[in-house]
Protein backbone atom coordinates (compact mmCIF):
# COMPACT_ATOMS: atom_id res chain seq x y z
CA UNK A 1 0.00 0.00 0.00
CA UNK A 2 1.23 3.49 -0.84
CA UNK A 3 1.98 5.69 2.15
CA UNK A 4 -0.44 8.66 1.88
CA UNK A 5 2.40 11.04 2.72
CA UNK A 6 4.50 9.72 -0.17
CA UNK A 7 4.08 11.54 -3.47
CA UNK A 8 3.00 9.63 -6.55
CA UNK A 9 5.25 11.25 -9.13
CA UNK A 10 6.22 8.12 -11.03
CA UNK A 11 6.69 8.91 -14.73
CA UNK A 12 6.04 12.65 -14.25
CA UNK A 13 8.36 14.42 -16.69
CA UNK A 14 9.73 17.76 -15.48
CA UNK A 15 12.12 20.14 -17.21
CA UNK A 16 14.34 22.30 -14.98
CA UNK A 17 16.09 25.24 -16.65
CA UNK A 18 18.88 27.30 -15.08
CA UNK A 19 21.17 29.88 -16.62
CA UNK A 20 24.28 29.06 -14.55
CA UNK A 21 25.66 25.77 -13.32
CA UNK A 22 28.34 26.75 -10.81
CA UNK A 23 28.13 25.99 -7.07
CA UNK A 24 25.66 28.75 -6.19
CA UNK A 25 22.50 28.81 -4.12
CA UNK A 26 20.04 28.43 -7.01
CA UNK A 27 22.05 25.54 -8.38
CA UNK A 28 21.98 23.82 -4.99
CA UNK A 29 18.21 24.20 -4.86
CA UNK A 30 17.90 22.60 -8.30
CA UNK A 31 20.25 19.80 -7.27
CA UNK A 32 18.22 19.05 -4.15
CA UNK A 33 14.87 19.27 -5.91
CA UNK A 34 15.87 17.10 -8.87
CA UNK A 35 17.69 14.49 -6.78
CA UNK A 36 14.67 13.97 -4.55
CA UNK A 37 12.12 14.01 -7.35
CA UNK A 38 14.23 11.56 -9.30
CA UNK A 39 14.42 9.24 -6.29
CA UNK A 40 10.60 9.31 -6.09
CA UNK A 41 10.28 8.07 -9.67
CA UNK A 42 9.87 11.31 -11.63
CA UNK A 43 11.80 11.79 -14.87
CA UNK A 44 13.78 15.03 -14.70
CA UNK A 45 15.58 16.80 -17.52
CA UNK A 46 17.92 19.59 -16.45
CA UNK A 47 18.86 22.26 -18.98
CA UNK A 48 22.25 23.89 -18.30
CA UNK A 49 24.48 26.22 -20.35
CA UNK A 50 26.78 24.48 -22.83
CA UNK A 51 29.68 26.74 -21.85
CA UNK A 52 29.10 26.63 -18.07
CA UNK A 53 31.22 25.39 -15.19
CA UNK A 54 29.73 21.89 -15.20
CA UNK A 55 29.21 21.73 -11.44
CA UNK A 56 25.48 21.05 -11.51
CA UNK A 57 25.69 18.27 -14.09
CA UNK A 58 28.40 16.63 -11.98
CA UNK A 59 26.27 16.81 -8.84
CA UNK A 60 23.27 15.32 -10.61
CA UNK A 61 25.12 12.46 -12.29
CA UNK A 62 24.38 9.92 -9.50
CA UNK A 63 20.66 10.74 -9.61
CA UNK A 64 20.18 9.58 -13.18
CA UNK A 65 18.54 12.84 -14.26
CA UNK A 66 18.97 13.67 -17.94
CA UNK A 67 21.11 16.69 -18.85
CA UNK A 68 20.46 18.88 -21.88
CA UNK A 69 22.65 21.80 -22.96
CA UNK A 70 21.53 25.12 -24.41
CA UNK A 71 23.29 28.12 -25.91
CA UNK A 72 22.22 31.75 -25.75
CA UNK A 73 24.35 33.31 -28.47
CA UNK A 74 22.85 36.82 -28.37
CA UNK A 75 20.52 38.93 -26.26
CA UNK A 76 17.51 37.54 -28.13
CA UNK A 77 18.20 34.01 -29.38
CA UNK A 78 15.30 32.43 -31.26
CA UNK A 79 17.45 29.36 -31.91
CA UNK A 80 17.74 28.78 -28.13
CA UNK A 81 13.97 28.97 -27.71
CA UNK A 82 13.40 26.58 -30.62
CA UNK A 83 15.93 24.10 -29.24
CA UNK A 84 14.10 24.10 -25.90
CA UNK A 85 10.76 23.42 -27.59
CA UNK A 86 12.29 20.52 -29.52
CA UNK A 87 13.81 19.05 -26.37
CA UNK A 88 10.55 19.43 -24.39
CA UNK A 89 8.72 17.46 -27.06
CA UNK A 90 11.43 14.84 -27.38
CA UNK A 91 11.37 14.16 -23.63
CA UNK A 92 7.58 14.36 -23.33
CA UNK A 93 7.84 17.14 -20.74
CA UNK A 94 4.66 17.72 -18.72
CA UNK A 95 5.78 20.83 -16.81
CA UNK A 96 8.75 23.20 -17.09
CA UNK A 97 10.37 24.94 -14.13
CA UNK A 98 12.81 27.78 -14.82
CA UNK A 99 15.16 29.47 -12.38
CA UNK A 100 16.08 33.17 -12.48
CA UNK A 101 15.81 35.76 -15.21
CA UNK A 102 17.32 34.44 -18.44
CA UNK A 103 15.80 30.98 -18.41
CA UNK A 104 12.64 32.38 -16.87
CA UNK A 105 12.16 34.33 -20.10
CA UNK A 106 13.27 31.62 -22.54
CA UNK A 107 11.48 28.91 -20.57
CA UNK A 108 8.21 30.86 -20.60
CA UNK A 109 8.16 31.28 -24.38
CA UNK A 110 9.35 27.72 -25.06
CA UNK A 111 6.73 26.31 -22.69
CA UNK A 112 3.97 28.30 -24.39
CA UNK A 113 5.04 27.00 -27.81
CA UNK A 114 5.33 23.45 -26.49
CA UNK A 115 1.95 23.65 -24.77
CA UNK A 116 3.11 22.86 -21.21
CA UNK A 117 2.66 24.81 -17.94
CA UNK A 118 5.60 26.94 -16.85
CA UNK A 119 6.87 27.88 -13.37
CA UNK A 120 9.45 30.59 -12.66
CA UNK A 121 11.45 30.72 -9.42
CA UNK A 122 13.46 33.88 -8.78
CA UNK A 123 16.28 33.27 -6.30
CA UNK A 124 17.91 36.58 -5.54
CA UNK A 125 19.81 39.32 -7.30
CA UNK A 126 17.61 41.88 -9.05
CA UNK A 127 20.02 42.41 -11.93
CA UNK A 128 17.03 42.29 -14.29
CA UNK A 129 15.85 45.59 -12.72
CA UNK A 130 18.76 47.64 -14.05
CA UNK A 131 17.43 47.74 -17.65
CA UNK A 132 13.95 48.55 -18.83
CA UNK A 133 13.98 45.90 -21.55
CA UNK A 134 14.80 43.23 -18.96
CA UNK A 135 11.89 44.31 -16.77
CA UNK A 136 9.58 44.23 -19.78
CA UNK A 137 10.86 40.79 -20.79
CA UNK A 138 10.32 39.40 -17.30
CA UNK A 139 6.83 40.87 -17.12
CA UNK A 140 6.03 39.16 -20.40
CA UNK A 141 7.47 35.86 -19.14
CA UNK A 142 5.35 36.06 -16.00
CA UNK A 143 2.26 36.75 -18.10
CA UNK A 144 2.98 33.54 -20.06
CA UNK A 145 3.71 31.47 -16.95
CA UNK A 146 1.32 29.56 -14.73
CA UNK A 147 3.17 30.41 -11.50
CA UNK A 148 5.82 32.90 -10.45
CA UNK A 149 7.67 32.23 -7.21
CA UNK A 150 10.26 34.03 -5.10
CA UNK A 151 12.45 32.48 -2.41
CA UNK A 152 11.65 35.20 0.13
CA UNK A 153 8.79 37.57 0.85
CA UNK A 154 11.25 40.46 0.62
CA UNK A 155 12.25 39.46 -2.91
CA UNK A 156 8.60 39.03 -3.91
CA UNK A 157 7.86 42.56 -2.67
CA UNK A 158 10.80 43.96 -4.65
CA UNK A 159 9.71 42.14 -7.81
CA UNK A 160 6.21 43.54 -7.47
CA UNK A 161 7.63 47.07 -7.35
CA UNK A 162 10.23 46.51 -10.08
CA UNK A 163 7.77 44.96 -12.52
CA UNK A 164 4.75 47.16 -11.79
CA UNK A 165 2.53 44.21 -10.98
CA UNK A 166 0.24 43.10 -8.21
CA UNK A 167 2.00 41.41 -5.29
CA UNK A 168 -0.63 38.66 -5.47
CA UNK A 169 0.91 37.50 -8.77
CA UNK A 170 4.09 36.40 -6.98
CA UNK A 171 3.98 33.54 -4.48
CA UNK A 172 6.77 32.56 -2.09
CA UNK A 173 8.43 29.21 -1.52
CA UNK A 174 11.17 29.48 1.08
CA UNK A 175 14.43 27.66 0.51
CA UNK A 176 15.19 24.62 2.63
CA UNK A 177 18.12 22.41 3.58
CA UNK A 178 18.60 19.18 5.46
CA UNK A 179 21.45 19.60 7.87
CA UNK A 180 23.22 16.64 9.43
CA UNK A 181 25.81 17.42 12.07
CA UNK A 182 29.03 15.54 11.29
CA UNK A 183 30.43 12.98 13.69
CA UNK A 184 33.75 14.81 13.76
CA UNK A 185 35.46 17.83 12.28
CA UNK A 186 39.12 18.24 11.35
CA UNK A 187 39.13 21.90 10.29
CA UNK A 188 40.93 23.27 13.32
CA UNK A 189 43.69 20.72 12.93
CA UNK A 190 43.85 21.46 9.22
CA UNK A 191 44.32 25.16 9.95
CA UNK A 192 46.76 24.56 12.81
CA UNK A 193 44.61 26.28 15.43
CA UNK A 194 43.76 24.97 18.87
CA UNK A 195 40.55 24.51 20.83
CA UNK A 196 41.03 27.81 22.67
CA UNK A 197 41.46 29.81 19.48
CA UNK A 198 38.32 31.55 18.24
CA UNK A 199 37.09 30.73 14.76
CA UNK A 200 34.48 32.59 12.72
CA UNK A 201 33.44 31.15 9.37
CA UNK A 202 31.65 32.37 6.29
CA UNK A 203 30.34 30.31 3.38
CA UNK A 204 29.55 31.60 -0.09
CA UNK A 205 30.78 32.29 -3.59
CA UNK A 206 33.75 34.65 -3.69
CA UNK A 207 32.04 37.39 -5.65
CA UNK A 208 31.29 41.06 -5.03
CA UNK A 209 27.70 40.64 -3.83
CA UNK A 210 28.77 38.29 -1.03
CA UNK A 211 30.68 41.10 0.71
CA UNK A 212 33.71 39.15 1.89
CA UNK A 213 36.05 42.11 1.51
CA UNK A 214 34.05 43.90 4.21
CA UNK A 215 34.39 40.86 6.45
CA UNK A 216 38.17 40.85 6.03
CA UNK A 217 38.21 44.57 6.85
CA UNK A 218 36.20 43.74 9.98
CA UNK A 219 38.72 41.04 10.84
CA UNK A 220 41.47 43.67 10.71
CA UNK A 221 39.52 45.80 13.19
CA UNK A 222 39.15 42.81 15.52
CA UNK A 223 42.70 41.46 15.25
CA UNK A 224 44.28 43.33 18.15
CA UNK A 225 41.31 42.95 20.51
CA UNK A 226 41.01 39.20 19.78
CA UNK A 227 44.53 37.93 19.11
CA UNK A 228 43.42 34.29 18.85
CA UNK A 229 40.62 34.97 16.36
CA UNK A 230 40.76 33.33 12.93
CA UNK A 231 38.49 33.67 9.89
CA UNK A 232 37.80 30.78 7.49
CA UNK A 233 35.86 31.40 4.26
CA UNK A 234 34.53 28.43 2.28
CA UNK A 235 33.78 29.03 -1.38
CA UNK A 236 35.27 29.63 -4.79
CA UNK A 237 34.86 32.47 -7.24
CA UNK A 238 36.48 35.30 -9.17
CA UNK A 239 37.61 37.29 -6.11
CA UNK A 240 39.75 34.55 -4.54
CA UNK A 241 43.07 36.16 -5.50
CA UNK A 242 41.90 39.67 -4.54
CA UNK A 243 40.71 38.51 -1.11
CA UNK A 244 43.98 36.69 -0.46
CA UNK A 245 45.88 39.87 -1.44
CA UNK A 246 43.71 41.96 0.86
CA UNK A 247 44.45 39.65 3.79
CA UNK A 248 48.20 39.91 3.12
CA UNK A 249 48.09 43.70 2.89
CA UNK A 250 46.32 43.81 6.27
CA UNK A 251 48.93 41.45 7.81
CA UNK A 252 46.25 38.78 8.25
CA UNK A 253 47.61 36.10 5.93
CA UNK A 254 48.08 33.70 8.86
CA UNK A 255 44.62 34.37 10.29
CA UNK A 256 42.38 34.54 7.20
CA UNK A 257 41.97 31.13 5.58
CA UNK A 258 40.41 30.79 2.12
CA UNK A 259 39.29 27.18 2.03
CA UNK A 260 38.09 27.00 -1.56
CA UNK A 261 35.00 25.06 -2.57
CA UNK A 262 34.30 22.41 0.07
CA UNK A 263 31.88 19.51 0.31
CA UNK A 264 32.16 19.31 4.12
CA UNK A 265 30.41 22.56 5.03
CA UNK A 266 28.60 20.84 7.91
CA UNK A 267 31.97 19.97 9.45
CA UNK A 268 33.21 23.52 8.90
CA UNK A 269 30.18 24.90 10.73
CA UNK A 270 30.63 22.42 13.57
CA UNK A 271 34.16 23.78 14.11
CA UNK A 272 33.03 27.40 14.25
CA UNK A 273 32.47 29.70 17.22
CA UNK A 274 30.54 32.10 15.01
CA UNK A 275 29.05 32.29 11.51
CA UNK A 276 29.13 35.56 9.57
CA UNK A 277 27.10 36.40 6.45
CA UNK A 278 28.45 39.72 5.08
CA UNK A 279 26.39 39.73 1.85
CA UNK A 280 25.38 42.90 0.03
CA UNK A 281 22.35 41.19 -1.54
CA UNK A 282 20.61 37.84 -1.05
CA UNK A 283 17.39 35.92 -1.47
CA UNK A 284 17.21 33.29 1.25
CA UNK A 285 20.82 32.05 1.40
CA UNK A 286 21.28 28.32 1.91
CA UNK A 287 24.54 28.87 3.79
CA UNK A 288 22.64 30.88 6.39
CA UNK A 289 20.06 28.11 6.76
CA UNK A 290 22.80 25.52 7.26
CA UNK A 291 24.41 27.69 9.92
CA UNK A 292 21.04 27.97 11.64
CA UNK A 293 20.57 24.19 11.62
CA UNK A 294 24.08 23.86 13.06
CA UNK A 295 23.15 26.13 15.96
CA UNK A 296 25.88 28.65 15.16
CA UNK A 297 25.70 32.13 16.66
CA UNK A 298 25.14 34.33 13.61
CA UNK A 299 26.07 37.84 12.56
CA UNK A 300 24.46 38.77 9.24
CA UNK A 301 23.76 41.77 7.07
CA UNK A 302 20.11 42.73 6.87
CA UNK A 303 19.50 42.00 3.19
CA UNK A 304 16.88 40.03 1.27
CA UNK A 305 15.16 37.33 3.30
CA UNK A 306 17.85 37.18 5.98
CA UNK A 307 15.93 39.12 8.63
CA UNK A 308 12.83 36.99 8.16
CA UNK A 309 14.87 33.78 8.33
CA UNK A 310 16.29 34.86 11.69
CA UNK A 311 12.90 36.00 13.01
CA UNK A 312 13.94 39.65 12.85
CA UNK A 313 16.69 39.37 15.44
CA UNK A 314 15.57 36.48 17.63
CA UNK A 315 18.10 34.13 16.02
CA UNK A 316 21.00 36.41 15.16
CA UNK A 317 22.55 39.87 15.11
CA UNK A 318 21.97 42.15 12.11
CA UNK A 319 24.17 44.89 10.70
CA UNK A 320 24.02 47.27 7.75
CA UNK A 321 25.50 45.77 4.54
CA UNK A 322 28.92 47.04 3.48
CA UNK A 323 29.74 48.33 6.97
CA UNK A 324 32.94 46.74 8.26
CA UNK A 325 32.97 48.58 11.64
CA UNK A 326 29.41 47.40 12.31
CA UNK A 327 30.37 43.82 11.43
CA UNK A 328 33.36 44.04 13.77
CA UNK A 329 31.27 45.46 16.62
CA UNK A 330 28.64 42.73 16.26
CA UNK A 331 31.24 39.96 16.20
CA UNK A 332 33.00 41.52 19.19
CA UNK A 333 29.75 41.62 21.16
CA UNK A 334 29.09 37.90 20.67
CA UNK A 335 32.67 36.84 21.32
CA UNK A 336 32.49 38.74 24.63
CA UNK A 337 29.11 37.31 25.60
CA UNK A 338 29.20 33.53 25.06
CA UNK A 339 25.92 32.94 26.92
CA UNK A 340 24.06 35.26 24.56
CA UNK A 341 25.83 33.70 21.58
CA UNK A 342 24.74 30.20 22.61
CA UNK A 343 21.15 31.32 23.12
CA UNK A 344 21.03 32.94 19.68
CA UNK A 345 22.39 29.75 18.16
CA UNK A 346 19.76 27.68 19.95
CA UNK A 347 16.97 29.92 18.74
CA UNK A 348 18.31 29.83 15.17
CA UNK A 349 18.36 26.03 15.21
CA UNK A 350 14.76 25.88 16.43
CA UNK A 351 13.71 28.34 13.74
CA UNK A 352 15.46 26.31 11.03
CA UNK A 353 13.82 23.06 12.09
CA UNK A 354 10.38 24.69 12.11
CA UNK A 355 10.53 26.54 8.79
CA UNK A 356 13.47 25.60 6.58
CA UNK A 357 13.68 21.82 6.35
CA UNK A 358 14.36 20.51 2.86
CA UNK A 359 11.25 18.32 2.80
CA UNK A 360 9.07 21.38 3.41
CA UNK A 361 10.56 23.18 0.41
CA UNK A 362 10.18 20.17 -1.88
CA UNK A 363 6.63 19.62 -0.69
CA UNK A 364 5.70 23.16 -1.63
CA UNK A 365 7.12 22.75 -5.12
CA UNK A 366 5.25 19.48 -5.60
CA UNK A 367 2.06 21.14 -4.41
CA UNK A 368 2.64 23.76 -7.11
CA UNK A 369 3.07 21.09 -9.78
CA UNK A 370 -0.08 19.41 -8.49
CA UNK A 371 -2.11 22.59 -8.88
CA UNK A 372 -0.95 22.94 -12.49
CA UNK A 373 -1.50 19.29 -13.40
CA UNK A 374 -4.89 18.53 -11.87
CA UNK A 375 -5.24 15.31 -13.83
CA UNK A 376 -2.29 13.74 -12.02
CA UNK A 377 -2.33 12.29 -8.53
CA UNK A 378 0.37 14.16 -6.64
CA UNK A 379 0.17 14.14 -2.85
CA UNK A 380 2.17 16.23 -0.42
CA UNK A 381 5.85 15.52 0.06
CA UNK A 382 6.77 14.74 3.65
CA UNK A 383 9.24 11.91 3.36
CA UNK A 384 11.87 13.89 1.53
CA UNK A 385 15.04 14.95 3.28
CA UNK A 386 17.96 13.41 1.47
CA UNK A 387 21.25 15.11 2.26
CA UNK A 388 22.35 17.78 -0.18
CA UNK A 389 24.88 16.71 -2.76
CA UNK A 390 27.26 19.47 -1.67
CA UNK A 391 26.47 22.21 0.82
CA UNK A 392 26.74 25.82 -0.19
Question: What's the predicted TM-score (pTM) here?
Answer: 0.86
Q: What is the pLDDT averaged over residues 100-110? A: 96
Per-residue pLDDT band at 385 (split at 50, 70, 90): very low
DSSP lists the bridge partners of residue 202 as: 233
Lowest average pLDDT, out of 10-19, 309-318, 380-389, goes to 380-389
Domains of the chain from N-terminus onward = 13-177+357-372 (3.40.50.2000), 187-354 (3.40.50.2000)
DSSP class of 64: T
Residue 193, SS3?
Answer: coil
The pLDDT tens digits of the residues spanning 172-202 come to 999 999 888 887 788 999 999 999 999 999 9
Per-residue pLDDT band at 8 (split at 50, 70, 90): low
% of the chain at pLDDT higher than 70: 93
% of the chain at pLDDT higher than 90: 81
Residue 16 has pLDDT above 90, yes or no: yes
Q: Which of 161, 211, 179, 372 is nearest to 293 (CA)?
A: 179
Measured CA distances, 25 to 22, 187, 256, 327 (Å)? 9, 23, 24, 23
The pLDDT tens digits of the residues spanning 29-41 come to 999 999 999 999 9
Residue 381 has pLDDT above 70, yes or no: no
Q: What is the pLDDT averaged over residues 90-117? A: 96
Tell me what the pLDDT averaged over the chain comes to.
Answer: 91
In this prediction, residue 130 carries a pLDDT of: 83
109 backbone dihedrals φ, ψ, rounded to 5°: -70, -40
In this prediction, residue 375 carries a pLDDT of: 64
In this prediction, residue 78 carries a pLDDT of: 87
Contact 261, 236 (CB under 8 A): yes
Per-residue pLDDT band at 129 (split at 50, 70, 90): confident
Residue 114 has pLDDT above 80, yes or no: yes
DSSP class of 357: B
In this prediction, residue 384 carries a pLDDT of: 47
The pLDDT tens digits of the residues spanning 66-76 come to 999 998 877 77
Residue 123 has pLDDT above 50, yes or no: yes
DSSP E strands in the chain: the ranges are 13-18, 43-49, 66-70, 95-99, 118-122, 147-150, 171-172, 198-203, 229-234, 256-260, 274-277, 298-301, 317-319
Write the DSSP string, 67-119.
Answer: EEEE---SSS-HHHHHHHHHHHHHHT-SEEEEESHHHHHHHHHHHHHHT--EE
Q: What is the pLDDT averaged over residues 254-273? A: 95
Contact 301, 324 (CB under 8 A): no
User: How wide is the angle at C-alpha 274 spanned by C-alphas 240 and 307, nearest 5°?
Assistant: 90
Amino acid sequence: MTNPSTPDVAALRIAHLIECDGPGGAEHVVADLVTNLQAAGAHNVVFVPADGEGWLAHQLAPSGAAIEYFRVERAISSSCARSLVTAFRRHGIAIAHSHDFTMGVYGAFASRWAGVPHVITMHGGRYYAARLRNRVALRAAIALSARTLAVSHHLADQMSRDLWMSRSRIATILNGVRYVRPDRTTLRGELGIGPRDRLMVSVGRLSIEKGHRHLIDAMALLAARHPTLHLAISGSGPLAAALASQARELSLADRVHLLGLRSDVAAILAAADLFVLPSLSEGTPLALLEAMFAGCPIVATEVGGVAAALAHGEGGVFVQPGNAPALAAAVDSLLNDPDRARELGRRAACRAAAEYDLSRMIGRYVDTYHELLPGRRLTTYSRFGAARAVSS
